[in-house]
Amino acid sequence: MRVITVNGLQVHDSLALPDALPAHGFVWIACSRAYFEAELPLVQAALVRLTGQSLVDLHTSDLLNPQLPSRYDFSSQYDLMVFRRLAQRQDAAPADAAKGKRPGPPVLQRIDTSPVGFAVFDRVLLSVHPADCAVREAYAARLLASAVADDANDARSAGARGVPHSPADMMLRIVSHMVDGYLDLRRELSRQLDHWQAELLHPKTRFNRWDALLQARLALHQLEDLCDDQHNAIQSWTESLDTWGIGHDSAAVLEHELLKIRSRDVLEHIDRVVQHVRRLEHNTETAVQMHFNVQGNRTNDIMRTLTALTAIFLPLNLIAGIFGMNFEFIPWLHQASAFWWTLGSMGAIALGMGLVFWRKRYLARTGD
């Protein structure tokens, strides 16, 4: 568990639950799912002490569910956001390697889709992460570093790219960081699928990775469905922002507008993920269709060549069949030069028909 207190431009990191809220700012309580389940009464007591409200039992079950899809819900005191992260696990090994099966692309097997839950209060943000969540540690390190930079620079730069203004702003920043984690995988994923496409389209390569290609397509479909759930959750959150009661304070109005802008930015990032996944699916489908078209053209070339050769030898077989008849009187049968004239005629016929077929490109390959 990590507890980060944001008080203006100052950010403090701690491992203990606070007893009170800061004078100007909010508290971020980030804990693992195992810690949240084991110390649920302690966390609930801290939320009551800080906000005067505890989590609803159904929302607690949602935060503890490791298979829950991305969703948004709310109560009168807080908002609940469950967002399945798109991060790359560096320590994961292919699951099918030990079973002797051919796995799909390693980059697809290293995609972690564990859910991360957020309970957004007015001045408290509770986040429940998987064990050893790299997203939490990466954003916490970035937040502490930005706080140091904001202290060193002018206060006007604070909050623009560094310290968030509110728990809702921090939640959106973490969600955006999770979505950007998948965008970092685009180059490696595109490289793997481009390699397969090159193998599919190469005329001299016999592609035999159909099982891995099928697994890759299934993984891309799962990512697309996952992004659709994420888009619906963020869209519901964005629509709920219009129902917030905002006073006439210019700072509150500006902060509310910034939340809307950041929410739309997260939606745009998710749309980029969806577009990239769909483009990869389309390219894969196109490569498979082109592969079978190339194989069909190669088969047509072979059949056309065999047909032309058969047509060349048909008149030769006819001549050989005629002179092979068992009649007593056949022209040229008893002449010494008949054999050579017959062979010459058969060669001339074969050469002539070969030239005609070559001019008509019946003996040429389509690729040439």
Domains and CATH numbers, the chain: 2-152+165-294 (3.30.460.20), 303-359 (1.20.58)
Worst-scoring range by mean pLDDT, 11-15, 37-41, 73-77, 194-198? 194-198
Q: What percent of the chain has pLDDT over 70?
A: 84
Question: How high is the pLDDT of residue 246?
Answer: 72
More confident residue, 174 or 215: 174
| 3-class secondary structure, 54 | coil
Q: How confident is the model at residue 365 (pLDDT cuts 50, 70, 90)?
A: low
Q: How confident is the model at residue 38 (pLDDT cuts 50, 70, 90)?
A: very high
Residues 6+ apart with CB under 8 A from 357: 308, 311, 312, 363
Closest CA to 126 of 136, 134, 135, 117: 117
pLDDT at 248 over 80: no
Whether the predicted model's global pTM rises above the 0.85 cut: no
Question: How high is the pLDDT of residue 93?
Answer: 44
Overall average pLDDT of the 40-61 stretch: 92
Question: How high is the pLDDT of residue 335?
Answer: 80
More confident residue, 315 or 297: 315
pLDDT at 42 over 70: yes
pLDDT at 59 over 70: yes
Most confident of 91-95, 131-135, 263-267, 302-306: 263-267
pLDDT at 203 over 50: yes
Backbone angles phi, psi at 118, to 5 degrees: -130, 130
Distance CA 54, CA 274 (A): 36
Q: How confident is the model at residue 193 (pLDDT cuts 50, 70, 90)?
A: confident
Element (H, E) at 124: strand 124-129
Q: How confident is the model at residue 159 (pLDDT cuts 50, 70, 90)?
A: very low
| 3-class secondary structure, 344 | helix
pLDDT per residue as tens digits for the range 107-134: 666 566 788 999 999 899 999 998 877 7
Worst-scoring range by mean pLDDT, 40-44, 72-76, 131-135, 235-239? 131-135
Worst-scoring range by mean pLDDT, 89-93, 239-243, 285-289, 291-295? 89-93
Overall average pLDDT of the 271-292 stretch: 82
Residues 6+ apart with CB under 8 A from 286: none
Question: How high is the pLDDT of residue 198?
Answer: 76
pLDDT per residue as tens digits for the range 301-310: 888 888 888 8
**DSSP secondary structure string for all residues of 166-188:** SHHHHHHHHHHHHHHHHHTTHHH
Closest CA to 198 of 111, 108, 290, 126: 290
pLDDT at 249 over 80: no
Q: What percent of the chain has pLDDT over 90?
A: 20
For helices 210-241 and 250-323, the axis angle rounded to 10 degrees is 160
Question: How high is the pLDDT of residue 62?
Answer: 92
Burial status of residue 203 (CB atoms within 10 A of its CB: 0-12, 13-18, 19 or more):
exposed
Question: How high is the pLDDT of residue 342?
Answer: 85
Overall average pLDDT of the 194-216 stretch: 73
More confident residue, 218 or 239: 239
Overall average pLDDT of the 166-173 stretch: 91
Q: How confident is the model at residue 163 (pLDDT cuts 50, 70, 90)?
A: confident
Question: How high is the pLDDT of residue 108?
Answer: 62
Q: How confident is the model at residue 136 (pLDDT cuts 50, 70, 90)?
A: confident
